[in-house]
Structure 1
Amino acid sequence: MELRPEQLVAQLGLDKPEPARLAPAYLIAGPEPLRVLEAADAVRAAARRAGFAEREVFEAEGNQREPDWNALSASLRAPSLFASRRLIEVRLPSGKPGKEGSEVIVDFCADPPADVALLVTAGEWSKQHGGKWSEAIGRIGQIAVAWTIKPHELPEWIERRLRARGLRADHAAVQNLADRVEGNLLAAAQEIDKLALLSDGQVLDSQRMDELVADAARFDVFRLVDATMNGQGAQVSRMLAGLRAEGEAVPGLLGMIVMELQRAASLARVQERGGNLASEFKAQRIWDSKQPMYRRALQRHAAPRWDAFVAEAGRVDRIAKGRGRMGEEPADAWLALERLLLAVAEPRAARLLVG
């Protein structure tokens, strides 16, 4: 059965006097790094309580794309030093061990030694990532997947974390914090830890939350692009204002923006001619978790308009570098960039573009 990371942490019973019985294997994966990290930390803590004194870590190093599977296989079957028990970690950023790695994990799970526990962590995960190896882990151990927290789920996540830190807040205060961190769980966790130090034990209302919490939203270009492609025009304007206030420069943002617009234009051309969009996603190495965002964007605009967006980005770059052509308006590169991104986010805003 697939668990949430928080359910796995509760099962490990770190708050109970007696250590929980450790399973032979764990798989913790997903696109939310904080939840993966905290669940993995809980497994490590439970392993220490259960007497697993040794810990080995296998991950890709240097130019390698995968861990050393031969070394892992040998370690899994080697006797523990000084008769101690071992926790062996395998880190798979891509979430795919390949054929060789899959065989090593399946072989271990078929007959796990009593003195070894296996912990596999992965940064990417989807239904396509699983296979015989993950099924084998599920049969003898636990699988926890840290799916992305959706916007409507964030207040509940924040409220649970506040309670776990001994804090109480009303609904308005919780929503206030959710609006500020804008989906950044690490920022939310940091602010909640700070609240635990500063709070006077009273129920936090929205005004008190404003006083104690800094604006932790991260207006970075990656999230700006995501908001644009997802059609979130209000978010786009707010993020641009934040970036401008932080002293960012338009040319520094355009590299990523142009790359994403070109990628969308390429996808739109494939879709327009009836090509295999799934294959194009794979060719461009677009993760499964990102594909719905592109599909939504492609529904808003046909291929010619995406090409026009790329050309418009070039015009914005010229304005930003003081090389705008005679008669080009607006002269403010930030305003020109905002008009472009709003046009991408909302078809009706395309009229804002010049030319």
Structure 2
Amino acid sequence: MRVYPDQLSRHLKPLQQCYLVFGDDPWLCETSRGQIHAQAKKEGFEEKIQLTQETGFNWHDLVDQWQAMSLFSSRRIIELILPQAKPGSEGGAIFQSLMQMPNPDVLLIITGPKLALEQTKSKWFKTLDAQGVYVPCATPEGTQFQRWLDERIEHFKLTLTRDAREMLFSLYEGNLLAADQSLQLLQLLSPQDRIDSHQLSAYFEDQSRFSVFQLTDAMLNNQQDKSLHILAQLKAEGVAMPIILWGVFKELSILLQLRTALDSNQSLQSLWGKLRIWDKRKSLYQSALNRLTLAHIEKLLVSASAIELKLKQQGIEDWTGMSHLSLLFDPKAHQVLAHIKLNQEE
């Protein structure tokens, strides 16, 4: 039976013979395992045995543990880790054998990486799924991630403005563990306060000398030397690349809307308020709009997306690419740097 992590708590009473927790999201996997362990403890499962299928693994060790009497006369949890999610023919036969001799005093939890569709159609998987619960722990994306984030914000009883929620969404989509840790930090620092994006930036930059807001202001103003200096300082102080990308994407999104309006002969007056651009900041955007065409802004967005993709897919913080991006806020740089690709693998 397939049960998604957010529904798991409703399927723990009574406990099934086995639980299959597979997926590549560490937060979901750990949280799901934690819920199962907590309910098992309430039902008297106190002893834990952990086995890992690795080179030389003896499948009969699993059978022995299944049949052995507990040393402490308590019910036991056997947790089997399948690093490759490939038990093979021998493992499959063992699973089938165990499911044919149910043991109410043993709870089997099998964990491993994300399963491909063909793996969920395999005989070994169907054997276990028929007697237990399959918990697929895939990282939620888009609206699903937003829903998860809103639920965690409510769980920690935090009050965040819309721009703060958008910042968290942009920073942590695809990384539930980091998002949850950040929300825990906010609960410690500001449990009763209303938190906006400026406060979030201050928390997560670890009191850096220069802020991401100063960096994006310098970019908008085409202060290339200052941009590169701030960028180098942010790197030296350990400011996370996702925070910088959030700031850059936010400003590029605003520029795109303003530029599109101008090219359509629309007045910017209504957009200033809609985009929450205060009077003292209008000159920054006017400066950028006087230099950058729609094609320039689109090129900046493509470059920023390439840096973000490298970070999310390869785990690489491309500081060289970010320096390149900061230079592209000068239209003259497009003629010199346009041929350089930012999404090449390192």
Provide the TM-score with structure 2 as the length reference. 0.57
Question: Partner of 2:160: helix, strand, or coil?
Answer: coil
Give CA-to-partner distance per residue, 1:160-191, whole Å, 9 cap, x none: 11112222334322111122235222211110
For each residue in 1:93-121, what CA deviation from the matched residue of structure 2 results, as whole angstroms up to 9, or x when unmatched? 21221111111122212231111110001
1:150 to partner: Cα distance: 1.9
Q: Which of these residues, 22, 29, 48, is aligned with residue 55 of structure 1?
A: 48
For the 8 Å contact 1:52–1:87, the answer to whether it is kept is yes
- AA in 2 matched with 1:88: I
* Aligned residue among 140, 143, 147 for 2:138: 147
Give the corresponding residue for 2:344.
none
Contact 2:18 2:128 in 1 (8 A): yes
Name the structure 2 match of 1:77.
67
Tell me, yes or no, if structure 1 residue 65 matches structure 2 residue 58.
Answer: no
The structure with the largest alpha-carbon Rg is 2
Q: Which one of the candidate residues 182, 193, 203 is aligned to 1:191?
A: 182
Partner amino acid, structure 1, of 2:201: D
Percent identity of paired positions between Structure 1 and Structure 2? 28
AA partner of residue 135 (structure 1)? K
Matches within 5 A, 1:167-178: 167-178=158-169
Q: How many residues align?
A: 227
The amino acid of 1:100's aligned partner reads E
Aligned to 2:339: 351
Q: Secondary structure at the match of 1:200?
A: coil
Q: 1:89 to 1:336 in 2, by over 3 A?
A: closer
Alignment partner, residue 109 of structure 1: 99
Cα offsets for 1:65-120 (capped at 9, x unmatched):
37431111121122333432111010012122111111112221223111111000
SS class of match (1:81): coil
The equivalent of 1:263 in structure 2 is: none
C-alpha contact 2:139 2:176 (8 A) present in aligned 1: no
Alignment-derived partner of residue 111 in structure 2: 121
Change (3 A) 1:247 1:209: closer
Partner of 1:255: none
After superposition, the C-alpha distances for 1:305-327 in whole angstroms (9 at most, x for unaligned) are xxxxxxxxxxxxxxxxxxxxxxx
- After TM superposition, the structure 1 = structure 2 runs for residues 1-355 of structure 1, keeping only pairs within 5 Å, are 1-12=1-12, 20-60=13-53, 64-65=54-55, 67-130=57-120, 131-214=122-205, 245-246=235-236, 334=320, 351-352=339-340
How far apart, CA to CA, are the structure 1 residues paired with 2:200 and 2:322?
A: 35
Deviations 1:17-51 (A, max 9, x none): xxx42211100001111111111121112111110
Once residues 324 and 10 of structure 2 are traced to their aligned partners in structure 1, the CA distance between those partners, rounded to angstroms, is 45
CA contact (8 A) 2:46 2:74 kept: yes
Is the contact between residue 31 and residue 125 of structure 1 (CA under 8 Å) also seen in structure 2? no
Contact kept in structure 1, 2:20 and 2:111, CA below 8 Å = yes
CA distance in structure 2 between the aligned counterparts of 1:97 and 1:112, rounded to whole angstroms: 20
- Once the two structures are overlaid, the 10-residue window that deviates more, 191-200 or 113-122, is 191-200
**Would you say the 8 A contact 1:93–1:124 is kept in 2?**
no
SS in structure 1 of the partner of residue 45 of structure 2 = coil
Q: How many Å separate the matches in 2 of 1:110 and 1:50?
A: 23
Q: 1:243 to 1:158 in 2, by over 3 A?
A: farther
Which sections of structure 2, spanning at least 5 residues, go unmatched? 207-230, 239-318, 326-336, 342-346
Is the 1:33–1:123 contact (alpha carbons within 8 Å) kept by the matching residues of 2? no
Kindly indicate whether the alpha-carbon contact (under 8 Å) linking 2:96 and 2:124 is maintained by their aligned counterparts in 1. Answer: yes
SS of residue in 2 equivalent to 1:195: helix
